Structures are given as structure tokens and as C-alpha cells.
Structure 1
Amino acid sequence: MKKRIGLLYGGKSAEHEVSLATALAVSKALNYKEYDVYPVYITSEGEWKRGPLLEGPADNTAQLQLGDGPGQANDISEFLPTEADGQLDVIVPLLHGPNGEDGTVQGLLEVLNLPYVGNGVLASAAGMDKVIMKQLFSVAGLKQTPYVYFLRSDWQKNREQLLDQVETELTWPVFVKPANLGSSVGISKAQNRDELNAAVLEALKFDRKVIVEQGVNGREIEIAVLGNDEPECSVAGEIKPLKGFYDYEAKYKDGDTALVVPAELDNAVYEQLADQAKRAFKILDCSGLVRADFFVTEENDVLINEVNTMPGFTPYSMFPLMWQQSGLSYPDLIEQLINLAIERHREKQQLQSKRD
């Protein structure tokens, strides 16, 4: 019997369009002989819409933006486990950014007791907040770049002091980011105090917390992690931006970036990357998938930058490319993630909810 898969995408987030692109790519990778695939679209206003069975891959993202036609609904109660027709066996969340990748939707799916692909509430929330993530990396003993962070309220009260702090504790250039966002949205590179001020104002458009990271003169290396309790790593890949840095436009629109997979690395460096990626995976209590991002200096020092608990599956995405070069095709990767979700859900069902 076919498994009934719900593709959950869109979302009330600045990364709504990225999610649509990911959903389109995944719809093209699924095996429709094994799965009945139902689109579950969250509009940019937060309205849920469940569409009719997909007969095959979507042709474009516009097709995935469900309207108010027949067979569609915006009642979350439809996702409750029932014997009625329409129950979904596994949810595949393809949501990026806040209200999707940060543990909020994962918490809803936990309450509904539905199996879902990817990381749980804790890993998603901690992985979304770059400050919390880096603090946990410190606990795990992972080497990383220096950083400064602050809230919007701190900035409003002590702007000059915070600018002084960045200039004192870090050296130019620095990268300014919203703490709780991904896909390079709101990220700027600053070479001086004026650019820093402008970069912070840009980041504050997207989050109340800002992180300023020390720039690193090194190679940008990524590695994909797959699994639950016993994660495995792919070959590594290298990002080579053809302009300033790997920003949103380079990542999703203009393709103005060279992706080298596998990256040319000494075996000892690769082993460090794989070890640190697995340690990051475990300290965050991850499950399913993670993309771990590193800097490798000329001296072959390995510095972890961040992990992405819901890496994209767009045509420009590194996660599926790295697994493809590791011998795991795109359709097989999707299937393995679905199986990992079911495995994790079954394990959770063994827990007692009542005392003896």
C-alpha cells in the first residue's frame, strides 16, 4: 500500500519563496509509484491549505500556491490522526526560517502525534537561533569564530557602546546577521563602522536579535549529515562565491557561485569536518538531516560556522549534491529521510505516557 505523504511548505516567513522552490524540487524527486503525495501549503499570511492528491511532479511554484478551489481546506484539525479518509502517514516539512524551521511547526506535529521528516522541537529551535547554537557548540568544545550579539532594545539604548564593542572585540570585516533567520536573508558584510551601523539596521528588519561575527579568511566548506542516533556524513563540498560572499541572490537566484563537490581536502581535514559535524549534530539532539558549515583556514584549522537543520533542496542546494556525490541519489535521499522519520516516530511511541 502506498504511503500518504504530506508536503508542508510555504510559511509565514521571509523565506516563503525559498520554501516554494524547495517544495517544487522535492515534488520532482518523489516516487509517485510508492507515495500518494498531498500538498499542504501555508500562505504568507499563515493560512493552511491542503490540496488534492498530486498526480505527478508540480510544473512550477505557482501550481503549488493553492487557492480556494475544491478539495482544499484551511482547517488544521484535518491533520489529527483519525480513521477518516485523508489521514497522512508522514509529513515532509519543507519550511525555512521562523514559523517553520524553528520548532514551532515541529511542536504542532508532535502534539498531533504525526511522523515528520527532520529535526524535532529542540534541535530546530536551537539550530535556528545562531546565538544559542554557538553557545551549545562551545559546550561541545567546537572551535568557532569570535562573535558579539545583542537585542534590538540594547541597540536602541546603547548603539554607540555596541559599535565600540564590535570594533574592540572583532576585526574588520565582520558579518552581520539576524540571529533567527536562514538562507542568507538580511545578512551583510561590513568593512567599517558606518557599514556596520547600516548592516545592523538591515538585520533588525528580520529579527529582534542580531549577531556580528568575525570575518574569516578561509575556504567555505560544507558537509551533509544524515541519520538519527548514528549519523553519517557525506563527502564535503566547497562554496566559491564569484562575488563578495554567498548571499541570498547567489544562493537562490543568479547562481553566481561555484559549487565544488567533492571539495579537494586532505583526508585528515575531512575527518575533522566529519567528526565536528557529528558532534554538532548530537549536541543539538538532531535527527534526520543537517548541513554543517565550516571555514578551513590556510593552516587547515577547522572552524564551525553553523548548522542548518532544514537545508534547501533547490537545484542550487548543496545538501542533495553532496549526497549524490556520496552515492545516494536524490530520490533515494528523500526515501531515506522518510524512513528515518518513521523510525524515530516508532521509537517515541514506545515511551510510556502514564505511570505504572
Structure 2
Amino acid sequence: MKKTIVWVLAASTVLVLALGLLLLVGHDHRFAEERVSVPVPGGTLDAALARPPGTARGLVVFVHGDGPVEATHEGLYRPWFEAAADAGFASLSWSKPGVGRSSGDWLDQTMDDRAAEVGHVLDWAATRPDLPTGTVVLWGASQAGWVLPKVVRSRADVDAVVAVSPAVNWLRQGRFNLLAELDHEGADATTRREAIAASDRTRALLDAGADHARHLAATPPGADPVGADRWGFVLRNFRADATADLQASAARHVPVLLALGTRDRNVDVAETEATYRRILGEDVIVARFDAAHSMARPVVEDSDAVGLLTAVLWPRALLAPGVLSTFRDFLRALP
């Protein structure tokens, strides 16, 4: 009995030590991270600055997708920061307005506001002699697809773009997402018909410029209405379409890495790829991965348990194979 207890204790100790070592290695990144405060009109943005060892040769500026995203996306950006550092680039990312210590409210913004915010950050970075702004790369995910081309068309200090799972048209993206999720859930004909009808009612309200009170009045019993702040955000942005901004930005011939996931249920990647290729031509490099919308391995996105365990133990493994190496190689190839 005593020997059994000893063996159990020994095995437990080894397991704890192994997990501790795995956590240490899994979260030991090849960059130095610090917090900086970026002044912008009306307040400040709380930002994370990740520096590579030695002298950096460029700066990657991160532009978030939808939602109240913190500067490191709760650590999910750090594998991207590390890949950038391996290519000799520093990374700069900030918490959205109203998130953490950042001033303002991201739900008050339009896509033009978001583009202006990126411009303010770039202007600030250019005043910092310690930041390597000789080569500036914009990295943006999802909703940032409506922000990046606005910035590129209006500024001469953006040298390259990494667009991760961007959509082209807000309304078409929403309908694609709805149908893809219904397919994924195996919804029956009645459920599909009701979901599409509800979506059509919402579209009609948006087209009519309905306020939140009207949205609440039109919400059927038992359905969850959109909050007032979110309704206002959608009302200001639902007509977003990246086509015109992409066409205007094309004149600058900025190289673009377009990263798409073949398991994306949020964005119609076929439409995105066709649009980017048609407008940007040889300036776009399209990279497809066996990945979900977030560039995560599909199993990670479909299983909360697997996703949580991976994020805790080895966050680099969240992303699909080839994603980080392709990003790193793109940066290394820049002049």
C-alpha cells in the first residue's frame, strides 16, 4: 500500500513538473513586450509593443477585427508577434477604444473612424526614433478588411499589407455566415426558412434607418434583440464594401498577403479571393490554409475544450500549419 502511494505521488510530481515545463516553453516568446500609451484625438490608446532581439528593420501594425479586442487579443496575437520578430520586425497593437485603459468606445466608430485611428497611430509611430518605421506593414483580420484599403489609399507610408480572412461586402458576408452556420448545424428546412426570414426583417430595418426602439418593437417574443450600442454600430456600418477602396489603393501597388481559411464559415473566401485578384492583380499573394476564420486549426475552433487546452499549454499550436511560416517569409521577402 505504501509503495502504491509513493508511486502515485512520484507520478503526480512528474506530471506537474512536465506541465510546468510545457507551460514555460509554450509561453516563452522570442521577443520583448512592453506597454505604451499612444495619444490620439480625444484620449489615448493602451498598446502592446513587441520588439525582436537586436535591431528591428520594420514595424507590423495590427488592426483588429470585430468586437472588444484587447491589445494582444488575450495572448492570441503573441505567436504572430513572434513570427514577426523572427523576421526582424517589431509589432504594435492596441486595445480598441473603451477596452482596458484605452479611451473612447469602439461601438461609436465607423470604418472611416477606424481607418483614421490607424492613421493617428502611424503618425505617432513616425515621431518615435526608437520605432523602425522605415518599413511599415499593416496586419488586419476580418472586419479590418474594410479598414486596411482605406488606410493604404490615403497614405504613402504603408509598404505592405497582410489581410487575414477579410470580407468584401458587409451584407453579403452576413448572409454567407448565416447560411454556413445553418449548414454546419444541420438545420432543417423550417429552421433555415425562419432564420432567413429573421435576417431579411433585420436588413429591412437597417435599410429604413430604424432606431433601436423600432428594432425592439420588431423583435418577435422569445428572440434576443441586439443591444442599443451594437445596433447603432451596425446601422452606421452595414453598407460597408471594400471594392472602391481596394480599387483606389491598387494604384499604389502595395504588396498584399491574403491569408484565407478553407474552413471559414464567416467569410466567403471564394468571393474575397476573386475580388482581390481582379483588383490587385500581381500585387496580391493568396495563401490558403486548412483553417477556420481565425486561421486556427478547425478542431480548435469547433471544440471549446481543445481550444482552451491548446491556448493554455501551447498557443502557437492554435494556428493552422503553415500560417505563421508564410507570414514570416512574406515579411522576410520585403525590401
TM-score by length of 2: 0.40
- As a proportion of its length, which structure holds more helix? 2
Q: Whose strand proportion is higher, 1 or 2?
A: 1
TM (normalized to structure 1)?
0.38
In terms of Rg, which structure is larger? 2
